Amino acid sequence: MEMLLSGIAILAGFTLLIWSADRFVMGASGIALNSGVSPLVIGLTIVGFGTSAPEMIVSGVAAYQGTPNLAVGNALGSNITNIALVLGITALVTPLMVNSNILKREYPIMFMIMLVALGLLWDGELSHVDGYILIAGMFALMTFITIMGLREKKQNQQADPLDEEFSEEIPKDMSTSTAFFWLFIGLIVLLISSRLLVWGAVNIAHEFNVSDLVIGLTIVAIGTSLPELAASITSALKDEHEIAVGNIIGSNMFNLLGVLGIPGIMTGVILDPSVLNRDYPVMIALSVLLFIFAYGFKGKGQINRLEGGILLMCYIGYMIMIYQQSV
């Protein structure tokens, strides 16, 4: 009976997470737009932050309830899922073009963040100091991306493709009071659904005698990446390829800084050895593969269907590896 309730809690948690994250982003975007903030700034900060909101809330709840390795698994697993599963499936649906100079600049930033986080975790511990460094890095990243985006737009005297695409995605006719309402509702439901999800996931982990890390890397990571999957496929089908790829890059940076930083600040974490021996190397390898596919060394970059299939096969291979090491 408890297993049935745990399964229901996970399904309900995922469903409510997706719904509440969308309402949270809608409300925050509406408030920002009504306050005179440009669509480009909203897209690069609020939308990027909002797509990682489920992971951040789940991470905080998991750390608070005494399962910080689930939070670590969620951060790394979500990044792996975003690249291999989300972009893999999206590219199979429709090939993805990568044109914007902003996205090309964000690739090396993402790699730098991965290396800094790896350096902090190298001693096998995510300490309170490490957590504060990562959270500070998240706010510095938001500031940097905003400044550079506005500067580039001003220098070019024309709208970046991202600016035009974000403008189409952000609600324009929402009153400030309505926006505050959805922001509040979204945040509350995010908290409730995260507690449901973590409760169900921990129960299943204990029932099958697998680690909290593995549950975070698999069930929780897949569930919290569903908003990215939905957003990427929807954007790609609308030919808004910049948003489809940009959401993944932004989400991965926020995951490493915000989602990973939260359990460090709250409790500190002694890492499962698999984090550095298996999961982090896989995340770096997939990021390098994504760079090769998407950067466009001889012109416009593209992730075609073959490359999408390769990414998806990599994800399946990673899941098989986790299963074999867990039984």
Q: What is the Cα Rg of the chain in Å? A: 19
Residue reference for tokens 């999957």: 229
CATH of residue 300:
1.20.1420.30
β-pair type (125-126, 269-270): antiparallel
Q: How far is CA 235 from CA 21, 195, 219, 242, in A?
A: 17, 30, 25, 8
Length of the chain measured in residues: 327
| Res 157: pLDDT | 53
Identify the three-state secondary structure at position 100: coil
146-149 own/partner pairs: CB under 8 Å, 24+ apart: 146/41, 146/44, 146/45, 148/102, 148/105, 149/40, 149/41, 149/44, 149/102
Provide the angle, in degrees to the nearest 10, between the axes of the packed helices 2-34 and 176-207.
150
The predicted pLDDT at position 96 comes to 84
* Rounded distance between C-alpha atoms, residue 117 and residue 309, angstroms: 29
Tell me what pLDDT residue 102 has.
56
In the beta sheet, which residues pair with residue 269? 126
Encoded tokens for 16: 């409510």
Task: Enter the pTM of the model.
Answer: 0.84
pLDDT tens, the chain, 327 aa long: 777 888 888 888 888 887 887 787 778 777 777 776 666 566 666 766 666 777 888 888 888 888 889 899 999 999 999 999 999 999 998 888 776 665 667 788 889 999 999 999 999 999 999 999 999 999 898 888 777 766 766 666 555 555 554 555 556 677 878 888 888 888 888 888 888 888 888 888 878 788 888 888 988 888 878 777 877 787 777 776 666 777 788 888 889 999 999 999 998 899 999 999 999 999 999 999 988 887 766 566 778 899 999 999 999 999 999 988 886
Number of domains in the chain: 1
For residue 155, what are the CA distances in angstroms to 158, 159, 160?
A: 8, 10, 11
Q: Which domain, by its residues, includes 138?
A: 2-326
Q: Are 56 and 260 in contact (CB under 8 A)?
A: no
Instruction: Determine contact, residues 182/30, Cβ cutoff 8 Å.
Output: yes
Q: Which among 247, 193, 187, 197 has a CA at the least distance from the CA of 71?
A: 197
Residue type (1 letter), 10: I
User: For helices 176-207 and 53-64, what crossing angle results, to 10°?
Assistant: 50
Per-residue DSSP letters for 243-292?
HHHHHHHHHHHHIIIIIHHHHHHHT-EE--THIIIIIHHHHHHHHHHHHH
SS3 240: coil
